Amino acid sequence: MTDLERALAEPGLRPLPAEAAAVLRRVDAPPRLAAHLRLVHDVAAQLLDWLAVAAPHLSLDREAVLFGAATHDIGKTLHPEELRGPGSAHEVAGTEMLREHGDLARFAVTHARWERPDATPEELLVTLADKVWKGKRVEGLERRVADLLGGEPWEAFMTLDDELTRIAGDADTRLAFQATYPI
């Protein structure tokens, strides 16, 4: 089994949507990238499951969030230097790579542009999953997601904070998982 296949199939994380896994195979994604995308996808699924209970009034496109989380960094296949350091060239490249997936290609760019006033709830959730999987907290982003919950703003923020603290508690395990795969 190749490292890419191992990253896509290793037990313990939810499998990627079949379409997303097929795209990663087709572009021969670096194994570390596939591991990262599985981790972000798994955290996005946890957030969606939690939101279904905490904010059942929210009408979210679950499949879009999961596909976006599973492919948001696919452009790093063409820009592997951004697997080791900062960079944004992967965003436009990823959008081009995913163009056949229509509107879902947007997550390759929008995951880095959450501050836009017109960012959708789905885009905010992909970005949040991409931060909190490794324990990173971004107050402004979290406030925007808390606003989606409705109710008293402070209470909504604290409710979200509790869930993000729980998810971030496993960050070391997720980072170790990702590090076992070569770039």
SS3 63: helix
Structural domain boundaries, residue 39: 3-179
Identify the pLDDT of residue 20.
Answer: 97
Identify the pLDDT of residue 47.
Answer: 98
* Residues 57, 33: Cα–Cα separation, whole Å: 34
Identify the pLDDT of residue 22.
Answer: 96
Domain count, the chain: 1
Mean pLDDT by 10 residues, the chain (183 residues): 96 96 96 98 98 96 98 96 93 93 92 95 98 98 96 95 98 97 94
Owner of token pair 């981790």: 39
Identify the pLDDT of residue 92.
Answer: 94
Identify the pLDDT of residue 117.
Answer: 96
Residues 61, 98: contact at Cβ < 8 Å?
A: no
Identify the pLDDT of residue 18.
Answer: 96
The phi, psi pair for 151, rounded to 5°, reads 80, -165
Picking from 19, 58, 60, the residue whose alpha carbon sits closest to that of residue 37 is 19
* Residues 7, 180: Cα–Cα separation, whole Å: 9
Q: What CATH number should be reported for the domain holding residue 92? A: 1.10.3210
Residues 75, 89: contact at Cβ < 8 Å?
A: yes
Identify the pLDDT of residue 50.
Answer: 98
Show Cβ contacts of residue 96 under 8 Å, excluding neighbours closer than 6 positions.
Answer: 75
